[in-house]
Amino acid sequence: MTKLQEEIDTVFPNKAPIQYEALMQMDYLDCVLNESLRLYPIAPRLERVAKKTVEINGIVIPKDCVVLVPTWTLHRDPEIWSDPEEFKPERFSKENKESIDPYTYMPFGAGPRNCIGMRFALIMIKLAMVEILQSFTFSVCDETEIPLEMDNQGLLMPKRPIKLRLEPHSNTPSNTTATSLKSPTT
């Protein structure tokens, strides 16, 4: 988190207004977001319906067959990702990103039927991350169980609340008070 806050403070010093062009040039922010989506994809699986009968590597997939792509499993496959359970944003650095097969990293799907809102979602997530991290530093509270146990029924979400401690970021006025934030429970 420190490296990301340093990038934010460098690109937008003194909580400068966020500019689209600068946001899109933030390499480490992009790495952190991509690695977060690798570890915790919004949907643990993708579903598609075969439009025609096809044969792939000797396996026949009949027309109208529902095909499941287990993104959660794919994103944590040790044959694809070294130390797959570890959070390593550098996997998505400019140097490493070129070597990632686009069909092994699919938080928004892939191909012509990927998520229509992908670009909008990525921009909004980046914007929210910068806005929040300009003002606060996060740490995990003792009540949060690490590693997280996830519920993958439908959209991916934690089984138990994630409790975080927010401290005013050093670039913010000292009159801001620390606050606790927890995830919604179902």
Count the domains in the chain: 1
Q: What is the mean pLDDT of residues 3-9?
A: 96
Q: pLDDT, tens digit, for every residue of 108-142? A: 998 888 899 999 999 999 999 999 999 999 999 99
Q: pLDDT, tens digit, for every residue of 90-111? A: 999 999 999 999 899 999 998 8
- 136-140 and 150-151 strand pairing: unpaired
Q: What is the mean pLDDT of residues 76-93?
A: 97
pLDDT, averaged across the chain? 89
The answer to whether the CB of 41 falls within 8 A of the CB of 156 is yes
Domain that holds residue 157: 2-182
Q: Is the pLDDT of residue 39 over 60?
A: yes
The pTM of the full predicted model, rounded to 2 decimals, is 0.84
Instruction: Give the pLDDT band (50/70/90) at residue 34.
Output: very high
The answer to whether the CB of 93 falls within 8 A of the CB of 27 is yes
| The pLDDT of residue 73 | 95
Q: What is the mean pLDDT of residues 45-63?
A: 95
Indicate the SS3 state at residue 169. Answer: coil
Q: pLDDT, tens digit, for every residue of 138-183? A: 999 999 988 889 887 778 889 999 999 999 998 644 433 444 444 4
| The pLDDT of residue 96 | 95
Residue 85 maps to which CATH number? 1.10.630.10
Burial, 112: exposed, middle or buried (Cβ in 10 Å; 0-12, 13-18, 19+)? Answer: exposed
